[in-house]
Amino acid sequence: MTGKQFTSVWLHEPRKATTPQGRSREEIVAAALELLDAEGLDGLSMRKLGAKLRAGATSLYWYVANKDELLELAYDDIWGELVTPDPEVIGWRDTVSVMAHSMRQVILRHPWSADLLGRLPALGPHSLAFTDRMSQAFRLAGFTGMDIDFANATLTGYVLGMTIPEVAWNNSMTSQVDQAQLRETVVRIAADYPGLRDRLAGNTDQDPRLVRELCFDFGLVSVLDGLEARLAK
Amino acid sequence: MTGKQFTSVWLHEPRKATTPQGRSREEIVAAALELLDAEGLDGLSMRKLGAKLRAGATSLYWYVANKDELLELAYDDIWGELVTPDPEVIGWRDTVSVMAHSMRQVILRHPWSADLLGRLPALGPHSLAFTDRMSQAFRLAGFTGMDIDFANATLTGYVLGMTIPEVAWNNSMTSQVDQAQLRETVVRIAADYPGLRDRLAGNTDQDPRLVRELCFDFGLVSVLDGLEARLAK
DNA sequence: ACCTGAACACCGTTCAAGT
DNA sequence: ACCTGAACACCGTTCAAGT
């Protein structure tokens, strides 16, 4: 009885903007994005956003039902930044590979999006366009029926799962952190796990950004190899 | 100058519990877990938790520096529920496969954890023990050096990325939702994407829970095949 | 049609004060 | 050593009232 209904910005029409006066959704979402990129998810409050638009905080509720809907709009927007090659031109494997790297970059560029992935369903037009384009590549590869969606979910799952904790890690670090001290504490924590400890110790001289790139590529190639192997059967 | 330092519960000793009087961290974390499981991430507030423990909200700050540290503690706890087979007994591939399924179940059982993955680094003992066990399996498989960690990251990345959006989806749904109406709206949204639309339409008769299981297995097998292929080279 | 301000019911956290 | 209450600086959202 008390269960909330399923709701989403994408499930109902926006208020008609028949009159050219007043603000617009686009304007509001653009301002929200600026705030999110500059200050993170906690930096976006309805009051701050109102102030930025030189308006009362509560005036926003005329354009948007609540804050979650606003976040859904902002969230969909960033997927418009994705690079989506044409699989007919460069082939399916390069297409999805480029898309995977591009996805990772979008999330790293907008770290607040990592927090939203586990909270809001992605039903916006940019998300769908992206899914559609990736499906096209997998169909071209030779997948059929539900396997197209499965391959899709496998690859995007890999990218998200690899990138989300990377954001969490970046969040906790800043340039202010004493790297040497951090390393020392991590090693102390890992002391009980010999394998882990030894590999951490052997890593001292590596650039962490580079290591993460290598790791991402390693996994991406593995996932794609695994998917390709299915086609041969 | 203003950058926050890297901090984590795991990086400093807890306040010594030399005296047996007063509350304990364990007690507090256990109560927090109950609240989280029952009411989700938003259901946990310091005031509510204090009330549940028949204490003032602010008394908790004697045991824990802030709410994030409390969440780190709760978050690490759930990974203690993981099934971790012995790779020496059942082989590496079955081991990591069982662990992958177990991970997914833990997240689905504690949906609030999905929100935390992008926010807090996982440095607790349960997380480390889990990583260590999985590394052991991959070493047994034949991986060496950094490839052990890469294989690890690839598999756990896949599981997280597959499961986090599943939680987001579950969050938005309740038993109250009119499935027929939802389907109709989704199809309307997907109208512009023929491939997507057709596959959605063809899916009508499937149990969504079952489809997600199939999808997870499809991806898991693909990822493991891809990793296994590396060993042959 | 659009915007405002006041008000409600919350937050996390600090801190001086108590025992 | 442990706990309290008051206080500060915030939240999202509703709603009657304005233009």
Q: How confident is the model at residue B3 (pLDDT cuts 50, 70, 90)?
A: very low
Per-residue pLDDT of A78-108, as tens digits, reads: 999 999 999 999 999 999 999 999 999 999 9
Higher-pLDDT residue of B184, A139 = A139
CA distance B28 to chain A (A): 23
Q: What is the pLDDT of residue A100?
A: 98
Does A128 or A1 have the greater pLDDT score?
A128
The DSSP code for A14 is P
Q: pLDDT tens, B77-119? A: 999 999 999 999 999 999 999 999 999 999 999 999 999 998 9
Q: Are A8 and A76 in contact (CB under 8 A)?
A: no
A195 CB-near residues (< 8 Å, 6+ apart): B132, B135, B136, B139, B148
Q: What is the pLDDT of residues B51-72, one digit of tens each?
A: 999 999 999 999 999 999 999 9
- Position B29 scores a pLDDT of 97
Q: Could you give the count of Cα atoms lying within 13 Å of A116 in the half-sphere of its Cβ? A: 24
The pLDDT value given to residue A4: 53
Q: Rounded mean pLDDT of B7-32?
A: 84
Distance in Å, residue B103 CA to nucleotide C12 C1': 31
At residue A194, does pLDDT exceed 60?
yes
Residue B65 CA and nucleotide D2 C1' are separated, in Å, by 15
The pLDDT confidence band at residue B167, using thresholds 50, 70 and 90, is very high
pLDDT of residue A33: 98
In terms of C-beta density within 10 A (0-12 exposed, 13-18 middle, 19 or more buried), how is residue B21 classed? exposed
Tokens for A65, please give them. 């039902």
Rounded to 5°, the CA angle B189-B192-B193 comes to 100
Give the A:B interface size as CB pairs under 8 Å. Answer: 240
**pLDDT on residue A80:** 96
For residue A66, list chain B residues with Cβ-Cβ distance below 8 A. none
Task: Indicate the angle between helix axes A208-232 and B146-172, nearest 10 degrees.
Answer: 70
What backbone torsions phi and psi does residue A107 show, to the nearest 5 degrees? -65, -40
Give the model's pLDDT for residue B2: 36
Question: In chain B, where does DSSP find H-type helix?
Answer: 25-39, 46-52, 67-78, 87-90, 92-109, 112-116, 125-141, 146-172, 179-189, 194-201, 208-232
Mean pLDDT of A198-204: 70
Of residues B119 and A203, the one with the higher pLDDT is B119
- Give yes or no for CB of A22 within 7 Å of strand C: yes
Which nucleotides on strand C sit less than 7 A from a protein beta carbon?
Answer: 1-6, 10-15
Task: Give the whole-angstrom CA distance, residue A52 versus residue A35.
Answer: 9
Question: Is the distance between the Cβ of B134 and the closest atom of strand C smaller than 7 Å?
Answer: no
Of B83, B183, B92, B107, nearest to B142 by C-alpha is B92
Which of the nucleotides lies closest to B15 (Cα–C1')?
D1
Contacts of B171 in chain A (CB under 8 A): 119
Kindly tell me if the per-residue pLDDT of A122 is higher than 50. Answer: yes
User: Could you tell me the pLDDT band of residue B4, with boundaries at 50, 70 and 90?
Assistant: low
Distance CA(A160)–CA(A153), nearest Å, equals: 10
Q: Place A16 in a pLDDT band, splitting at 50, 70 and 90.
A: low
pLDDT band (50, 70, 90) for residue B195: confident
Cα–Cα–Cα angle for A218, B123, A120, rounded to 5 degrees:
70
Count of beta carbons in the 10 Å neighbourhood of residue A33: 18
pLDDT in tens, B115-132: 999 899 898 999 999 999
Q: At what angle do helices B146-172 and B208-232 cross, to 10 degrees?
A: 170
Residue B205 in 3-state DSSP?
coil
Report yes or no: A64 and A70 within 8 Å, Cβ to Cβ: yes
Distance CA B45, CA B32 (A): 9
Q: What is the mean pLDDT of residues A175-190?
A: 69
The Cα–Cα gap between B34 and A175 comes to: 37
Q: Percentage of chain B surpassing pLDDT 90? A: 69
Q: Taking residues B47-52, what's their average pLDDT?
A: 98
CA distances from A21 to A29, A53, A70, B215 (A): 17, 15, 20, 48
Give residue for tokens 């047996």: B20
CA A52 to chain centre: 25
* Interchain CB distance below 8 Å, B171 and A195: no
For A225, the enclosing helix (H) or strand (E) is helix A208-232
The residue length of chain A stands at 233
Q: What pLDDT is attached to residue B177? A: 60
Handedness of CA B131, B40, B158, A217 (dihedral sign): negative
Tokens representing B80 are 């203690």
Q: Are A123 and B5 inside 8 Å of each other by CB?
A: no
Q: What is the pLDDT of residues B172-182, one digit of tens each?
A: 876 556 666 66
Residue B183 has a pLDDT of 72
Question: Which pLDDT band, with edges at 50, 70 and 90, does B75 fall under?
Answer: very high
Distance (Å, whole) CA B131 – CA B126: 9
Instruction: Give tens-digit pLDDT for A42-82.
Output: 999 999 999 999 999 999 999 999 999 999 999 999 999 99
d(CA B127, CA B134): 11
Q: Can you give the pTM of this predicted structure?
A: 0.94
**Residue A58 CB in 7 A reach of strand D:** yes
Selected residue with higher pLDDT from A47 and B210: A47
